[in-house]
Amino acid sequence: MEPICAFDRLVPGRGVAALLADGAQVALFRLYDDSLHAVANRDPFTGANVLSRGLVGDRGGEPVVVSPLLKQAFSLKTGECLDDPDVALEVYAVEVQDGVIRVGARSEAEVAA
């Protein structure tokens, strides 16, 4: 798990981009319930690293981030694109330790898929 930044640095309902040691870009979100989610920052539809700047919310209860470019919604839990089941984002493990957010490797479930 790599330390990223202080938890308080994140605004509820908004994301930030983080650069991992291996060069991967991660979009990190803090929701209103203070839960944290991390998915790949790269928008698979355009190739731009922008998902951290998308709006978050829910679709039918599923927490999502919406691409700021072409507005597809992605599940923050599974990374799945709700508008195109053939497309999914990588999901990263995320935790808070001593007030610092840490992001891990891609989650087990995602690697298995």
Partner 1 sequence: MSKLVVIGDGMVGRRFLEAVAQRDPSWDVTVLCEEPRPAYDRVRLSAFFDGVSAEELSLASDLDGVEVRLGEAATEVDRDAKVVRSATGEYPYDKLVFATGSYAFVPPVEGADLPGVFVYRTIEDLEGIKAHADGRRHGTVIGGGLLGLEAANALKLLGLEVQIVEFAPWLMARQLDEAGGGVLKQHIESLGIGVDCGTGGTKIEAVDGRLRMDTNREGVAYDTDLIIFAAGVRPRDQLARECGIEVGERGGIITDLGLRTSDPDVYAIGEVAAVEGVCYGLVAPGYAMAEVVADRLAGGEATFPGADMSTKLKLLGVDVAQFGAFDGPLATTYLDPANGTYAKLVLSDDAQTLLGGMLVGDAEPYPLLRASVGGKVPGTLADLLGGGEVEGALPDGAQVCSCNAVTKGEIMGAIHEGCHDVAEIKSCTKAGTSCGSCIPMLKQLLAEGGVEVSKAVCEHFTQSRAELFDIVKVTGITTFSELIARHGTGSGCDLCKPAVASILASLSNGHILDGEQAALQDTNDHFLANMQRNGTYSVVPRIPGGEITPDKLIVIGQVAKEFDLYTKITGGQRIDMFGARVEDLPKIWRKLVDAGFESGHAYGKALRTVKSCVGTDWCRYGVQDSVKMAIDLELRYRGLRSPHKLKSAVSGCARECAEARGKDFGVIATEHGWNLYVGGNGGFTPRHADLLLSDVDSETLVRTIDRFLMFYISTADRLQRTSKWVEGLEGGLDYLRSVIVDDRLGICDDLDAMMAKHVANYADEWKGVIDDPEKLQRFVSFVNAPETPDPSIEFEEVRGQKFPAGSTERSRPVLLGTPVIRSSQGK
Applying CB under 8 A, which residues contact partner 1?
Answer: 3-5, 9, 11-14, 16-19, 23, 25, 28, 31-32, 42, 46-50, 53-61, 63-64, 66, 68-69, 71, 73
CA dist., res. 23 & res. 83, Å (int): 28
Least distance between partner 1 and beta carbon 112 (Å): 27
Residue 85 Cβ vs partner 1, minimum distance, rounded to whole Å: 19
Residue (19 or 111) nearer to partner 1, CB: 19
**Neighbouring C-beta atoms of residue 5, cutoff 10 Å:** 14
User: Residue 111's beta-bridge partner residues?
Assistant: none
Contact 89, 51 (CB under 8 A): yes
